[in-house]
Amino acid sequence: MVDFVEDLLFEGNALDNIDPYMWLPDPSVSSVNTQKGEFVGWVDSNNYMNLLSEEIKPNSTLFNVKYLDNKRNRRSELSLDQSDRQLRYGSNDSRSITTDSVNPVDIIKMYVNLIPKEWNLGDGEYPEKWFFALAADEVMIQAERADHNHGMYPMSIASPEYDGYSATPISRMEILYGLQHTLDFFFNSHITNIRKALNDMLVVDPYLININDLKDPQPGKLIRLRRPAWGRGVDKAVQQLAITDVTRSNISDSMFVTQWMDRISGADQSMQGSLRQGGPDRLTKGEFQGTRGSAISRLERIAMIIGVQFFQDIGTMFAVHTQQYMSKSTYVRAIGRYEEQLIKMFGKRIRVAPGDILVGYDTIVRDGSVPGGNFSESWIRLFEIISGNDSLIKEFDTTKIFSYIAYQMGAKNVEDFKRNVNNIQTSTMSDEDAAAGAAKGDLVPIGSV
């Protein structure tokens, strides 16, 4: 007989993606100031059995789920609002499934910054953040105070094309929509004209031609003339309509449109891995590095904005949630830049309790910068000059300069390559040699170091 022990295996955060078409922001604030809005919400989709299973779990905050059982249609009016994306291309989203086959439950989830006394939720007279969940537009299944220690809505928005005022700014893809629509027209009209030319357009005299033979789509067909046309020849019985390809220049025009799309989006040939082929001279190293560096800087700007807007908040929330809601201590492995120092202090495995986390100091959130993106090769040339000049070596620390260059080029573990300074080999020399070395600058007194 096997005895089972119930224990906690994992505690942590999870990220859920919200469909932008189901996003319900406060229109009074811009996309980058969502945390300052009075509310923020979205429409989620689930099913009845899953919600019922979640309700019976210990410490669950769901209620009233059983009242959804008698409702045949559990959809929300907000999720049935067809977007242009769904009307044109369709969608595999669960919201597009009809209720004839299955019956999903649409839930409007919303965080609201409210005064509890005005909403009959308590005696508080100052704003507090609360979370509500409304299923099928009628049944309230969740209502609780959002007591996160960070005091923010537990969500983060990346809006790299923000203008500081719009709640839904125009995205980079939307900027290209007009050109993309024109490009689609060029290709589609040209293909339509080709299909028109491939399908024979004939002018036929049905008095002379057996029309049923002419309608036969199979190749190698035999078209018979009717009796009145016997002996007259077949020259004037059938005539092909003249076809003029007015879309012949569409392909060349589409290349011009594509070039403008590349310039606007920043995804030029160098970013796509294609190098310049034409020109009087061959592609030089400086030209390639300069072109690619300029393109990377444009994309890096977007990545860094997303990092500041999105990852900074996410990193802070993850750290605060871990400290606030972690119920048990755990062991972590010492890695990273301070691995050696941590191992000396705590050992290879470190026991961590929630109170040991200092969110304001221990949380390091990386931005979207490209490793080595802000590095200049001038540093390498300066390092070579300093290393070969005795006077400059006396004034500059070449080891620190090399470490700085390595860090700027993206190396994160430069310390791993240093020699162990605790195992220094000592040697003795005569007073004359020591005095000569000191005169040259090769030796310095210990007290002056």
Task: Provide the pLDDT for residue 377.
Answer: 75
Which residues are within 8 A (CB) of 448 and not within 5 positions of it... i.e. 6 or more apart? none
Provide the terminal-to-terminal Cα distance of the chain, rounded to the nearest Å: 70
Task: Quote the CA–CA distance of 155 and 270 in Å, as a whole number.
Answer: 36
Q: Indicate the pLDDT class of residue 152, thresholds 50, 70 and 90.
A: very high
Give the integer Cα–Cα distance in Å for 314 and 154.
8
Residue 337: the pLDDT is 60
CB 106 within 8 A of CB 135: yes
The better pLDDT of the pair 325, 357 is held by 325
pTM of the model: 0.66
pLDDT score for 99: 54
Handedness of CA 61, 64, 68, 69 (dihedral sign): positive
Q: Does residue 346 register a pLDDT over 70?
A: no
Q: Residue 56 is encoded by which pair of tokens?
A: 């019976």
Min mean pLDDT across 123-127, 163-167, 238-242 is at: 238-242
Q: Which segment of 107-116, 370-379, 401-410 scores lowest on mean pLDDT? A: 370-379
Query: And the tokens for 388?
Result: 């070969």
Residue 324 host element (H or E)? helix 312-325
User: Which residues 6+ apart lie within 8 Å of 337 measured at CB?
Assistant: 412, 413, 415
Are 378 and 310 spatial neighbours (Cβ–Cβ below 8 Å)? Answer: no
With CA atoms as reference, report the closest residue to 102 among 63, 49, 66. Answer: 49
pLDDT band at 126 (very low <50, low <70, confident <90, very high): very high
Q: Assign 234 a pLDDT band (cuts: 50, 70, 90).
A: confident
Select the more confidently predicted residue: 429 or 77.
77
pLDDT at 411: 76
Higher pLDDT, 58 or 438: 58
Bin 399: left if φ > 0, else alpha if -120 < ψ < 50, else beta. Answer: alpha
What is the helix, strand, coil percentage profile of the chain, to 5?
A: 40, 10, 50
Question: Residue 307: its pLDDT value, please?
Answer: 84
Q: Give the residue with greater pLDDT, 138 vs 283.
A: 138
Nearest residue to 405 via CA among 433, 438, 372: 372
In sequence order, the 6+-apart residues with CB closer than 8 A to the CB of 112 are 38, 39, 129, 130, 131, 132
Domain locations in the chain as residue ranges: 20-167, 175-265, 285-362, 378-420+428-448
CB neighbour list of residue 132: distance below 8 Å, 6 or more residues apart: 109, 110, 112, 140, 142, 143
Give the DSSP H or E segment for 351.
strand 349-352
